[in-house]
Amino acid sequence: MKATIEYNSRKIEVNISNPIDISIPIDASKKNINAWYIDDPKIFPEMYEGEKIKVSEGAVVNFNNIHFNPHSHITHTECVGHITEKVHSVNKNLKYYIFLAEVVTIAPLFHNGDFLIGVKQLKTALKNKNRDAIVIRTLPNLEDKKSMQYSNTNPTYLSEKAATYLREKGIKHLLIDLPSVDKEKDEGRLLSHNAFWNTAGEIRMDATITEFIYVPNTVEDGEYLLNLMIAPFENDATPSKPILYKIIK
């Protein structure tokens, strides 16, 4: 099924019957993705008068509680409230959900003992393209990204210059398949978060960072329509389900 939308005075045709889900869900029954030194997420039935509210145990409905942290356990989208004293809500600041995105694949550089994504790599990938969002897939791109235990592994991150470049290029929405755009242990500087949101100047309240995505290897680099769907939590971050649609013309 094809659909045509008008986006910034441009007519874009996409195949809406072939959505590409790049989110990683919570699945407490399996090995769940995890970061930031906390326990696994939990999904468990509520108790009432000593009985589990679960159909298989005699209740008429399933009635589960879910205990998780969006930064640690699931694809999530965050706003500047993640790093400011005042906790701004991503649900209030993200007001539009359809964007023109560029999917890029980056082989991280090894620099001073770390793997990172540098500014030259992003300039090469984006060139003179005008996009609202960038979707970064890092190499190697293995299935175990969906269940990786990242704590104390010093994962790949984004250099401060790269984050500044994306901000200056007008990228409003940064999506990446890592637990953070910053170094795991950086003494609280959070250089790339601060650079992308421009906390030293006019803060970009409507800009977002989405972490813990997974872009399948079958998805080619290039231009896509992005539907950035979020759960309505009044919090600095919320679980999200970014969907890509290949642009036909």
Residue 15 near residue 246 (C-beta atoms within 8 A): yes
Q: Where do we find the tokens 């949101």?
A: 197
Half-sphere exposure of 21 (CA within 13 A, CB side): 8
Nearest to 153 by CA among 41, 37, 30, 75: 37
- Domains, the chain, ordered by start: 2-25+74-246 (3.50.30.50)
Cα separation, 76 vs 176, in Å, equals 10
pLDDT digits (tens, 9 = 90+) for 95-124: 999 999 999 999 999 999 999 999 999 999
Res 10: pLDDT: 87
Residue 51 near residue 61 (C-beta atoms within 8 A): no
Beta bridge partners of 149: 34
pLDDT digits (tens, 9 = 90+) for 54-67: 999 999 999 999 99
Q: With a cut of 50, which residues of the chain have pLDDT below it? A: none
pTM for the whole structure = 0.96
Cα separation, 109 vs 159, in Å, equals 10
Per-chain mean pLDDT for the chain: 96
Cα separation, 205 vs 94, in Å, equals 8
Give, in degrees to the nearest 5, the angle at Cα 248 between 242 and 249: 115
Res 178: pLDDT: 98
